[in-house]
Amino acid sequence: MNQPIGMKLSEQLRERIEERIVVGEYPPGARLDEMELASTFGVSRTPIREALIQLASAGFVDTRPRRGSVVAQIPPERLREMFDVMAELEAVCARLAATHSTEPDRAALEAAHRACEEALRADDPDAYYRLNERFHLAIYASCHNGFLCEQATQLHRRLRPYRRLQLRVPGRMSSSFEEHAQVVEAILRGDGELAASRLRAHVAIQGNRFADLVKAMAPPKEQAGAGGGRTGS
């Protein structure tokens, strides 16, 4: 299993298991057996156990007595609500970043934006996603409101597999980068309302289309659950 530079094996496994949960390969109620997952991904049980702990912390997995780790039930309407809240949180972050950011903050934001461009040119959606996350975190940090930054970061991590998958839609990386450019422009010129409006729209796009994306990427029903998960009894 190839490991991206700077990324722990358990984090890489968490991403791969998250993705299988999102597209329905590991459906709600499926038991995630450590031994089976270790065999599926060709690793030892230790990083699998660490990945499952991360997934449980993010709410993707429930830990149940005598059943171990089980895929949590996340209704689509609940996810839509989360994206709605995410859009508003990020809008507030952008508004505050436009008026509270320092020169180092703005330099970090521009650097994160340029890094996304490199991933776009390489046509690497997974690299773009990780750099995209850095871009959004740079905006959160620039607002200089610790509580808001914590809440936005927590929800961002909760939604990251859905945000990552939509970058694989043809043309979405390019559109995402252009939306980022508009947000950066508004922040750098200190226009808080425009920055908020643009970032809200950027996140809303992701929420509005995630259901169709997940449906399109879901495996055939007869294959659902293949690859290491067991449906609950």
CB 89 within 8 A of CB 152: yes
Give the pLDDT of residue 88.
97
pLDDT of the residue at 76: 77
The pTM of this model reads 0.74
pLDDT at 184: 98
Amino acid identity of 18?
Answer: E
36 vs 41: CA distance, rounded Å: 9
Q: Are 192 and 96 in contact (CB under 8 A)?
A: yes
Q: Which domains does the chain have, with CATH numbers?
A: 1-19+26-73 (1.10.10.10), 76-216 (1.20.120.530)
The sheet carrying 68-71 orders its strands as 61-64, 68-71, 31-32, 229-230
* pLDDT averaged per 10 residues in sequence order, the chain, 233 residues: 65 90 84 94 95 90 85 83 94 98 98 96 90 96 97 90 80 94 98 98 81 55 41 34
* Model pLDDT, residue 2: 52
